[in-house]
Chain A
Amino acid sequence: MLVELTVNGESRSANVPPETTLLKMLREYLGLTGAKLGCDVGDCGTCTVIVDGVSVNSCLMLAGRADGCDVTTIEGLATADELHPLQQKFEEHGALQCGFCGPGMLISAKNLLDTNPEPSVFEVRDALAGNLCRCTGYTKIIEAVIEAGEMMNQEQATV
């Protein structure tokens, strides 16, 4: 079946078998390998992408369901010149170790900050509850998200 998406602002389409998940379409048909295949059952969150403004496990969503939708993946965060504030703060804080959870962590964090620019620690924990990190821990990730929110608010204030 033909599935047409807007991915990170660009129109993309592919002919995929109907049982294809959105994750598989992104990775194997559109060459966007940022979102990762982790547990494949919706527990780990490393496949997280934003579909029409809400974050979802792309391993559990059939591509056909996303037809006509607006999709944001980790590839949509940085520009050629500059990392997204979240990516800058993750780097500064050493928030990632192996990095496998990173694409999902960053997308979940972006989805939070899009609707709640000044989250509390509790709100960050709640927003990231569906993203598992098995390397290091969550403290630096939480600090990075809160600082990225502050940085984005300042940027907005100066514009």
Chain B
Amino acid sequence: MRPMNYIVPESAEAAVAILAERGENACPLAGGTDLVVDLKHAPGNINALVDVSGLEEFRGIDETDEGLRIGSMVTYGEIMEHPVCIEKTPEVVAASHTVGAVQTRNLGTIGGNLVTCVPSADSAPALMVLDAEVTLIGTNGWRRMPIEDFFVGPRKTILEPCELLAEIWIPGHTLGKPSSFYKFGLRKGQALALVNAAAALELDGDRIVEPRIALGAVAPTPIRAVKAEALLDGQVVNAKLLDEAAKISVTESKPIDDFRASRNYRRQLIRTLTRRVLERSVEIARERQEKDKLH
């Protein structure tokens, strides 16, 4: 690797200030599982790394009145071990488990994964179906937005220069919401998703309430299948309806043809995976109803 300056800022504000002062030659460093590889092979004009991985403001997992706060510099390994995540956001844990392998999950952070912003980012669909929001800190202070708005294009986020992803928030009303995540890759370990899908919904009797469907690796960014959601909203659940929603979600996607899979194969995967995550979410919601009846 070419000579680099390595800077450990004392606070998030200090990190932003250092990045602003140094301009485009400085780059924030999170887990390094993507950036360090890039620096070895195509460093561009980067000559300084601002290591934000240990910053207090970006660390920790806390449950508050507002919901669950996950610091952007929390690693996938930490999410998988955290009792609150395991209990209240099992599908975020499941999605985390499908990222890379043990060693990369122990280095790689959820925020780093979102900032890298590849269409196949595994955590994205699982967070989107829980209506997650993100907070950012930059030279103009803090701002907050739905996670969908954070993704702009392949490897492109809404972050301004010198702005950093600080936190991911999962609102209280979606914690524990019946949800399901499914990733299809060519292998179980160390493989990018050909398609990944997540769903979340509640059941009011037999009616679907607040359905959410999110898909990854099917468009320039992770997407919500809003037309499919609209079809499900308020309807009585049945197998045909779920398959119809899965079919619509295919029309909302724009999968690519590449060496991993053809467009047509991906389309079939989208339908199958969407149907499966919907069916599984319904199953979980039903189990919940049964349990509530007993109490």
**B12-20, B31-39, B154-162, B275-283: which lies at the interface:** B31-39
Using A65-B51, A130-B101 as known contacts, say yes or no to A55 and B2 having CB atoms under 8 A apart: no
Tell which of B2, B6, B33 touches A42, judged by Cβ atoms closer than 8 Å: B33
Q: In the complex, A3→B77 CA distance in Å?
A: 25
Chain A residues lying within 8 Å of B6, measured Cβ to Cβ, are 1, 18-19, 62, 64
In the complex, the answer to whether B103 meets A45 with C-beta atoms within 8 Å is yes
Interface size class of B (residues with CB under 8 A): 20 to 34
Q: Binary interface profile of B, 13-51, with partner A (CB < 8 Å = 1, else 0)? A: 000000000000000010111001101100000000101
When C-beta atoms are compared, the residue in chain B nearest to A111 turns out to be B102
A129 to B53, CA, bound (A): 25
User: Is there an interface contact between A54 and B53, defined as CB atoms closer than 8 Å?
Assistant: no
Structural contact, B102 and A40, CB atoms closer than 8 A: no
Shortest distance between the CB of B119 and any CB in chain A (Å): 20
Q: Check A60 for interface membership: any CB of B closer than 8 A.
A: yes
Q: Are B2 and A130 in contact (CB under 8 A)?
A: no
Task: Choose one: A18, A43, A56, A127; the contact of B5 (CB below 8 Å).
Answer: A18
- In the complex, the answer to whether A130 meets B102 with C-beta atoms within 8 Å is yes
- Shortest distance in angstroms between A46's beta carbon and chain B's nearest beta carbon? 11
In A60-112, the 8 Å CB interface with B consists of 60-62, 64-65, 108, 111
Contact with B along A49-60 (1 / 0, CB 8 A): 000001111011
Q: Chain A contacts of B77 at CB under 8 A?
A: 54
A17 touches B33 (CB 8 A): no
- Identify the closest chain A residue to B77 (Cβ): A54
194-241 of chain B: CB within 8 A of chain A? none
Chain A neighbourhood of B29, CB < 8 A: 62
Cα distance A42–B101 in the bound complex, in angstroms = 9
Whether A130 pairs with B40 at a CB distance below 8 angstroms is no
Interface positions, chain A 100-140, Cβ under 8 Å from B, are: 108, 111, 126-127, 129-131
**Contact residues in B for A43 (Cβ distance below 8 Å):** 190
Q: Which of B39, B40, B102 has the most CB of A within 10 A?
A: B102
Q: With both chains docked as a complex, state the minimum distance between the C-beta of B235 and any C-beta of chain A, in angstroms.
A: 38
- Which A residue's beta carbon lies closest to that of B191? A129
Known: A1-B6, A55-B106. A65 touches B53 (CB 8 A): yes
CA distance A35 to B107 in the complex (A): 17
Nearest chain B CB to A112 CB, angstrom units: 8
**A130 B190 Cβ-Cβ under 8 A:** yes
Q: Mark A1-31, 1 if CB is under 8 A from B, else 0.
A: 1000000000000000111010000000000
CA distance A5 to B8 in the complex (A): 18
Q: Does B100 contact A (CB under 8 A)?
A: yes
Say yes or no for B116: interface residue by CB 8 A criterion: no
Contact between chains at A42 and B103 (CB < 8 Å) = yes
Q: A interface vs B, CB < 8 Å?
A: 1, 17-19, 21, 40-43, 45, 48, 54-57, 59-62, 64-65, 108, 111, 126-127, 129-131
In the assembled complex, 11 residue pairs joining A and B whose CB atoms fall closer than 8 Å, in A order, are: A17-B3, A19-B1, A42-B100, A43-B190, A48-B103, A55-B102, A60-B37, A60-B104, A126-B102, A129-B102, A130-B104
Given A45-B103, A57-B103, A130-B100, 15 other A-B residues pairs in contact with their CB atoms under 8 A: A18-B4, A19-B1, A42-B33, A42-B37, A55-B103, A55-B106, A60-B33, A60-B107, A61-B107, A62-B6, A62-B51, A65-B51, A126-B102, A126-B189, A127-B102
